[in-house]
Amino acid sequence: MVAPAELRYDGKVVVVTGAGGGLGKQYALFFAERGASVVVNDLGGSFKGEGTSTKAADLVVNEIKSKGGKAVANYDSVEFGDRIIDTAVKAFGTVHILINNAGILRDISFKNMSDEDWDLIIKVHVTGSYKCAKAAWPYFRKQKYGRIINTASAAGLFGSFGQTNYSAAKLGMVGFTETLAKEGGKYNILSNVIAPIAASRMTQTVMPEEVLKNLKPEWVVPLVAVLVHDSNESENGSIFEVGAGHVSKIRWERAKGALLKTDDTMTPSAVIKKWPQVNDFSKPEYPTGPADFLGLLEAAGAQGPNEQ
Protein backbone atom coordinates (compact mmCIF):
# COMPACT_ATOMS: atom_id res chain seq x y z
CA MET A 1 0.00 0.00 0.00
CA VAL A 2 1.70 3.22 -1.16
CA ALA A 3 -0.01 6.29 0.25
CA PRO A 4 0.55 10.03 0.03
CA ALA A 5 1.75 11.78 3.17
CA GLU A 6 -1.74 13.00 4.00
CA LEU A 7 -4.71 10.91 2.95
CA ARG A 8 -7.47 13.01 1.38
CA TYR A 9 -10.97 12.18 0.21
CA ASP A 10 -11.77 15.11 -2.12
CA GLY A 11 -14.61 14.23 -4.48
CA LYS A 12 -15.64 11.20 -2.43
CA VAL A 13 -19.12 10.71 -1.00
CA VAL A 14 -19.04 8.96 2.36
CA VAL A 15 -22.07 7.53 4.17
CA VAL A 16 -21.55 6.99 7.89
CA THR A 17 -24.37 5.27 9.75
CA GLY A 18 -24.86 6.03 13.41
CA ALA A 19 -22.76 9.17 12.97
CA GLY A 20 -24.54 11.22 15.62
CA GLY A 21 -22.15 10.17 18.40
CA GLY A 22 -19.34 7.85 19.45
CA LEU A 23 -17.20 6.35 16.69
CA GLY A 24 -19.53 7.38 13.87
CA LYS A 25 -19.26 11.06 14.73
CA GLN A 26 -15.45 10.87 14.63
CA TYR A 27 -15.52 9.18 11.21
CA ALA A 28 -17.89 11.86 9.86
CA LEU A 29 -15.80 14.77 11.20
CA PHE A 30 -12.59 13.21 9.85
CA PHE A 31 -13.81 12.55 6.31
CA ALA A 32 -15.43 15.99 6.04
CA GLU A 33 -12.22 17.65 7.23
CA ARG A 34 -10.29 15.74 4.57
CA GLY A 35 -12.47 16.92 1.67
CA ALA A 36 -15.30 14.35 1.42
CA SER A 37 -19.04 15.01 1.23
CA VAL A 38 -20.60 13.17 4.15
CA VAL A 39 -24.04 11.76 4.89
CA VAL A 40 -24.44 11.85 8.65
CA ASN A 41 -27.04 9.20 9.43
CA ASP A 42 -28.41 8.75 12.91
CA LEU A 43 -31.73 7.59 14.27
CA GLY A 44 -31.04 9.47 17.48
CA GLY A 45 -32.41 6.87 19.92
CA SER A 46 -30.97 5.48 23.17
CA PHE A 47 -28.13 2.96 23.19
CA LYS A 48 -30.78 0.28 23.73
CA GLY A 49 -32.57 1.34 20.54
CA GLU A 50 -35.44 3.24 22.16
CA GLY A 51 -36.84 6.50 20.76
CA THR A 52 -35.73 8.72 17.87
CA SER A 53 -34.43 12.27 17.49
CA THR A 54 -33.00 14.45 14.72
CA LYS A 55 -30.71 16.24 17.14
CA ALA A 56 -27.71 13.87 17.12
CA ALA A 57 -27.24 13.97 13.34
CA ASP A 58 -28.01 17.71 13.13
CA LEU A 59 -25.35 18.62 15.67
CA VAL A 60 -22.67 16.76 13.70
CA VAL A 61 -23.80 18.26 10.38
CA ASN A 62 -23.71 21.75 11.93
CA GLU A 63 -20.23 21.14 13.29
CA ILE A 64 -18.98 20.00 9.87
CA LYS A 65 -20.59 22.97 8.10
CA SER A 66 -19.26 25.46 10.64
CA LYS A 67 -15.75 24.29 9.70
CA GLY A 68 -16.50 24.73 5.98
CA GLY A 69 -17.17 21.05 5.27
CA LYS A 70 -19.93 19.38 3.23
CA ALA A 71 -22.53 17.25 5.02
CA VAL A 72 -26.22 16.36 5.05
CA ALA A 73 -28.22 14.65 7.75
CA ASN A 74 -30.35 11.53 7.45
CA TYR A 75 -32.51 10.34 10.34
CA ASP A 76 -33.69 6.94 9.08
CA SER A 77 -33.02 3.69 10.84
CA VAL A 78 -30.41 1.61 9.02
CA GLU A 79 -33.19 -0.93 8.51
CA PHE A 80 -34.19 1.47 5.71
CA GLY A 81 -30.72 1.69 4.21
CA ASP A 82 -32.11 2.51 0.77
CA ARG A 83 -33.36 5.86 2.10
CA ILE A 84 -29.91 6.65 3.52
CA ILE A 85 -28.22 5.92 0.19
CA ASP A 86 -30.97 7.97 -1.55
CA THR A 87 -30.00 10.92 0.65
CA ALA A 88 -26.40 10.57 -0.58
CA VAL A 89 -27.45 10.33 -4.22
CA LYS A 90 -29.85 13.29 -4.01
CA ALA A 91 -27.34 15.53 -2.23
CA PHE A 92 -24.07 14.46 -3.84
CA GLY A 93 -24.88 12.31 -6.90
CA THR A 94 -23.53 8.93 -5.74
CA VAL A 95 -21.81 7.08 -2.90
CA HIS A 96 -18.20 5.86 -2.80
CA ILE A 97 -17.60 4.84 0.80
CA LEU A 98 -20.02 3.19 3.23
CA ILE A 99 -19.20 2.92 6.92
CA ASN A 100 -21.71 0.55 8.52
CA ASN A 101 -21.31 1.69 12.10
CA ALA A 102 -24.76 2.17 13.66
CA GLY A 103 -25.42 -0.11 16.57
CA ILE A 104 -27.25 -0.74 19.82
CA LEU A 105 -27.02 -3.13 22.74
CA ARG A 106 -29.59 -5.33 24.47
CA ASP A 107 -27.31 -7.07 26.97
CA ILE A 108 -28.99 -9.75 29.04
CA SER A 109 -28.17 -13.34 29.99
CA PHE A 110 -29.31 -15.91 27.46
CA LYS A 111 -31.72 -17.40 30.00
CA ASN A 112 -33.57 -14.09 30.33
CA MET A 113 -33.33 -12.89 26.74
CA SER A 114 -36.63 -12.16 24.98
CA ASP A 115 -37.31 -12.65 21.27
CA GLU A 116 -37.51 -8.86 21.05
CA ASP A 117 -33.97 -8.48 22.46
CA TRP A 118 -32.74 -10.95 19.86
CA ASP A 119 -34.70 -9.60 16.90
CA LEU A 120 -33.86 -5.94 17.42
CA ILE A 121 -30.12 -6.60 17.63
CA ILE A 122 -30.16 -8.70 14.46
CA LYS A 123 -32.33 -6.09 12.72
CA VAL A 124 -30.08 -3.12 13.48
CA HIS A 125 -26.65 -4.72 13.05
CA VAL A 126 -27.16 -7.43 10.43
CA THR A 127 -30.18 -6.29 8.42
CA GLY A 128 -29.16 -2.63 8.76
CA SER A 129 -25.68 -3.26 7.34
CA TYR A 130 -27.17 -5.43 4.60
CA LYS A 131 -29.75 -2.81 3.58
CA CYS A 132 -27.16 -0.03 3.33
CA ALA A 133 -24.68 -2.16 1.39
CA LYS A 134 -27.41 -3.52 -0.88
CA ALA A 135 -28.57 -0.01 -1.82
CA ALA A 136 -24.99 1.24 -2.37
CA TRP A 137 -23.88 -1.81 -4.38
CA PRO A 138 -25.35 -0.82 -7.79
CA TYR A 139 -23.53 2.54 -7.58
CA PHE A 140 -20.30 0.82 -6.58
CA ARG A 141 -20.61 -1.67 -9.43
CA LYS A 142 -21.41 0.99 -12.03
CA GLN A 143 -18.55 3.29 -11.07
CA LYS A 144 -16.16 0.36 -10.43
CA TYR A 145 -15.32 1.84 -7.07
CA GLY A 146 -16.60 1.18 -3.60
CA ARG A 147 -15.24 0.85 -0.10
CA ILE A 148 -17.18 -0.75 2.76
CA ILE A 149 -16.32 -0.94 6.43
CA ASN A 150 -18.52 -3.19 8.54
CA THR A 151 -18.38 -3.14 12.31
CA ALA A 152 -17.95 -6.33 14.30
CA SER A 153 -16.89 -6.63 17.92
CA ALA A 154 -14.63 -8.71 20.13
CA ALA A 155 -17.92 -10.05 21.53
CA GLY A 156 -18.62 -11.59 18.12
CA LEU A 157 -15.11 -12.95 17.61
CA PHE A 158 -14.60 -14.40 21.07
CA GLY A 159 -17.96 -14.39 22.89
CA SER A 160 -18.98 -12.19 25.80
CA PHE A 161 -21.18 -12.90 28.80
CA GLY A 162 -24.71 -11.47 28.41
CA GLN A 163 -24.31 -10.74 24.70
CA THR A 164 -25.49 -13.80 22.75
CA ASN A 165 -27.64 -11.60 20.50
CA TYR A 166 -24.91 -9.03 19.90
CA SER A 167 -22.20 -11.70 19.47
CA ALA A 168 -24.26 -13.52 16.82
CA ALA A 169 -24.91 -10.26 14.97
CA LYS A 170 -21.30 -9.12 15.16
CA LEU A 171 -19.79 -12.38 13.92
CA GLY A 172 -22.41 -12.15 11.19
CA MET A 173 -20.62 -8.99 10.09
CA VAL A 174 -17.46 -11.03 9.54
CA GLY A 175 -19.08 -13.58 7.22
CA PHE A 176 -20.96 -10.80 5.45
CA THR A 177 -17.72 -8.90 4.84
CA GLU A 178 -15.75 -11.94 3.72
CA THR A 179 -18.36 -12.74 1.09
CA LEU A 180 -18.82 -9.14 -0.06
CA ALA A 181 -15.04 -9.05 -0.50
CA LYS A 182 -15.11 -12.16 -2.69
CA GLU A 183 -17.98 -10.82 -4.82
CA GLY A 184 -16.84 -7.19 -5.00
CA GLY A 185 -13.08 -7.49 -5.47
CA LYS A 186 -13.12 -7.66 -9.25
CA TYR A 187 -15.21 -4.46 -9.41
CA ASN A 188 -12.82 -2.57 -7.12
CA ILE A 189 -15.30 -2.84 -4.26
CA LEU A 190 -13.20 -3.55 -1.18
CA SER A 191 -14.87 -4.60 2.08
CA ASN A 192 -13.21 -4.95 5.47
CA VAL A 193 -14.50 -5.42 9.00
CA ILE A 194 -13.27 -3.93 12.26
CA ALA A 195 -13.73 -4.95 15.86
CA PRO A 196 -13.20 -1.60 17.60
CA ILE A 197 -12.84 -0.69 21.21
CA ALA A 198 -13.55 2.89 22.24
CA ALA A 199 -15.08 5.02 24.93
CA SER A 200 -18.67 5.81 23.99
CA ARG A 201 -22.08 5.75 25.65
CA MET A 202 -22.09 2.03 24.77
CA THR A 203 -19.02 1.29 26.88
CA GLN A 204 -19.33 3.94 29.59
CA THR A 205 -21.58 1.78 31.73
CA VAL A 206 -19.40 -1.33 31.53
CA MET A 207 -15.88 0.11 31.85
CA PRO A 208 -14.28 2.20 34.59
CA GLU A 209 -13.48 5.89 33.94
CA GLU A 210 -9.75 5.16 34.24
CA VAL A 211 -9.88 2.74 31.29
CA LEU A 212 -12.25 4.85 29.20
CA LYS A 213 -9.98 7.85 29.14
CA ASN A 214 -7.42 5.79 27.25
CA LEU A 215 -9.91 4.66 24.62
CA LYS A 216 -10.61 7.69 22.46
CA PRO A 217 -12.83 6.90 19.46
CA GLU A 218 -10.49 9.16 17.44
CA TRP A 219 -7.87 6.42 17.69
CA VAL A 220 -10.05 4.01 15.69
CA VAL A 221 -10.44 6.45 12.79
CA PRO A 222 -6.94 6.19 11.21
CA LEU A 223 -7.28 2.48 10.39
CA VAL A 224 -10.69 3.02 8.80
CA ALA A 225 -9.25 5.98 6.89
CA VAL A 226 -6.48 3.79 5.46
CA LEU A 227 -8.80 0.94 4.47
CA VAL A 228 -11.26 3.13 2.54
CA HIS A 229 -8.66 5.32 0.82
CA ASP A 230 -7.84 5.06 -2.92
CA SER A 231 -4.34 3.95 -1.99
CA ASN A 232 -5.77 0.71 -0.59
CA GLU A 233 -5.99 -1.46 -3.69
CA SER A 234 -5.68 -4.89 -2.13
CA GLU A 235 -6.74 -5.11 1.52
CA ASN A 236 -10.10 -6.83 1.13
CA GLY A 237 -12.11 -9.20 3.32
CA SER A 238 -9.85 -8.66 6.33
CA ILE A 239 -10.71 -8.49 10.01
CA PHE A 240 -8.98 -5.96 12.26
CA GLU A 241 -9.00 -5.30 15.96
CA VAL A 242 -8.46 -1.62 16.70
CA GLY A 243 -8.47 0.56 19.79
CA ALA A 244 -6.27 2.23 22.42
CA GLY A 245 -3.64 2.82 19.75
CA HIS A 246 -3.39 -0.87 18.88
CA VAL A 247 -4.15 -2.07 15.35
CA SER A 248 -3.90 -5.73 14.42
CA LYS A 249 -5.24 -8.16 11.89
CA ILE A 250 -7.17 -11.22 12.98
CA ARG A 251 -7.34 -14.40 10.90
CA TRP A 252 -8.71 -17.90 11.08
CA GLU A 253 -6.44 -20.76 11.97
CA ARG A 254 -7.05 -24.39 11.03
CA ALA A 255 -5.35 -27.19 12.95
CA LYS A 256 -3.43 -29.74 10.96
CA GLY A 257 -6.25 -32.10 11.85
CA ALA A 258 -6.72 -35.83 11.55
CA LEU A 259 -7.43 -37.70 8.37
CA LEU A 260 -9.62 -40.75 8.86
CA LYS A 261 -10.37 -43.46 6.33
CA THR A 262 -13.89 -42.96 5.04
CA ASP A 263 -15.32 -46.40 5.51
CA ASP A 264 -17.28 -48.14 8.26
CA THR A 265 -14.28 -47.82 10.60
CA MET A 266 -14.97 -44.05 10.77
CA THR A 267 -16.72 -44.27 14.13
CA PRO A 268 -17.00 -41.90 17.12
CA SER A 269 -14.29 -43.86 18.95
CA ALA A 270 -11.97 -43.51 15.92
CA VAL A 271 -12.46 -39.73 16.15
CA ILE A 272 -11.70 -39.78 19.88
CA LYS A 273 -8.46 -41.65 19.21
CA LYS A 274 -7.40 -38.91 16.80
CA TRP A 275 -8.32 -36.08 19.20
CA PRO A 276 -4.72 -34.88 19.68
CA GLN A 277 -4.32 -34.46 15.88
CA VAL A 278 -7.74 -32.74 15.62
CA ASN A 279 -6.38 -30.17 18.10
CA ASP A 280 -2.84 -30.01 16.73
CA PHE A 281 -2.04 -26.39 15.96
CA SER A 282 1.71 -26.99 15.64
CA LYS A 283 1.53 -26.71 11.85
CA PRO A 284 -1.52 -24.55 11.25
CA GLU A 285 -3.06 -23.32 8.02
CA TYR A 286 -4.59 -19.86 7.67
CA PRO A 287 -7.61 -20.63 5.53
CA THR A 288 -9.49 -18.10 3.46
CA GLY A 289 -11.98 -20.72 2.28
CA PRO A 290 -13.34 -24.14 3.24
CA ALA A 291 -11.07 -27.17 3.35
CA ASP A 292 -10.45 -28.97 0.07
CA PHE A 293 -13.02 -31.67 0.77
CA LEU A 294 -12.58 -33.52 -2.49
CA GLY A 295 -8.82 -33.69 -1.98
CA LEU A 296 -9.32 -34.81 1.60
CA LEU A 297 -11.77 -37.54 0.59
CA GLU A 298 -9.30 -38.83 -1.96
CA ALA A 299 -6.45 -38.83 0.57
CA ALA A 300 -8.65 -40.48 3.21
CA GLY A 301 -9.57 -43.22 0.76
CA ALA A 302 -5.89 -44.06 0.35
CA GLN A 303 -5.40 -44.47 4.11
CA GLY A 304 -5.23 -47.75 5.97
CA PRO A 305 -8.26 -48.63 8.17
CA ASN A 306 -8.90 -46.47 11.23
CA GLU A 307 -7.84 -48.00 14.52
CA GLN A 308 -10.70 -49.59 16.42
Number of residues interacting with ligand NAD: please give it, by CB under 6 A.
Answer: 32
Applying the rule CB under 6 A, the residues between 133 and 172 that interact with ligand NAD are 151, 153
Other beta carbons within 10 angstroms of residue 19's beta carbon come to 32
- Position 213, amino acid: K
Starting at the edge strand found earlier in the chain, the sheet holding 13-16 runs 70-74, 37-41, 13-16, 97-100, 146-151, 189-196, 239-243, 246-250
How many angstroms separate the CA atoms of 19 and 57, rounded?
A: 7
- Under rule CB under 6 A, residue 197 binds ligand NAD: yes
Closest to ligand NAD by CB, 178 or 241: 241
For the bound state, the minimum distance from the C-beta of residue 9 to ligand NAD, rounded and expressed in Å, comes to 20
- Under rule CB under 6 A, residue 200 binds ligand NAD: yes
Residues annotated as catalytic (active site), given as ranges: 166, 170
Closest to ligand NAD by CB, 117 or 306: 117
Cα 138-80-186 angle, rounded to 5 deg = 25
Closest to ligand NAD by CB, 4 or 51: 51
- Under rule CB under 6 A, residue 306 binds ligand NAD: no
How many angstroms separate the CA atoms of 135 and 106, rounded?
A: 27
One of 61, 99, 124, 260 touching ligand NAD (CB under 6 A): 124
For the bound state, the minimum distance from the C-beta of residue 245 to ligand NAD, rounded and expressed in Å, comes to 14
Binding part of the chain for ligand NAD, among 139-147, 191-199, 222-230, 266-274 by CB under 6 A, reads: 191-199
For the chain, helix, strand, coil in percent to 5 are: 45, 15, 40
Sort strands 37-41 and 146-151 into parallel, antiparallel or unpaired. unpaired
For the bound state, the minimum distance from the C-beta of residue 100 to ligand NAD, rounded and expressed in Å, comes to 8
* Ramachandran assignment for 245, one of left (phi > 0), alpha (psi -120 to 50 degrees), beta (any other): left
How many angstroms separate the CA atoms of 52 and 186, rounded?
A: 39
Q: How buried is residue 244: exposed, middle or buried, by Cβ count under 10 Å (0-12/13-18/19+)?
A: middle
Binding part of the chain for ligand NAD, among 8-16, 201-209, 272-280, 292-300 by CB under 6 A, reads: 201-209
Per-residue binding letters, 12-31, with ligand NAD (x by CB under 6 A): -----xx-xxxxx-------
Other beta carbons within 10 angstroms of residue 163's beta carbon come to 22
Closest to ligand NAD by CB, 13 or 149: 149
Bridge partners (DSSP) listed for residue 16 = 40, 99
Using Cβ positions, the residue closest to ligand NAD within the complex turns out to be 22
Task: Give, for 134, the enclosing helix (H) or strand (E).
Answer: helix 128-143
Binding part of the chain for ligand NAD, among 2-10, 139-147, 199-207, 234-242 by CB under 6 A, reads: 199-207
Binding part of the chain for ligand NAD, among 96-104, 138-146, 228-236, 254-262 by CB under 6 A, reads: 96-104
Applying the rule CB under 6 A, the residues between 29 and 88 that interact with ligand NAD are 41-45, 47, 49, 56, 77-78
One of 37, 87, 101, 192 touching ligand NAD (CB under 6 A): 101
Give the Å distances, CA to CA, from 259 to 115, 176, 263, 266. 41, 30, 12, 10
Closest to ligand NAD by CB, 154 or 259: 154
Contact residues for ligand NAD, defined by CB under 6 A: 17-18, 20-24, 41-45, 47, 49, 56, 77-78, 101-104, 124, 128, 151, 153, 196-198, 200-203
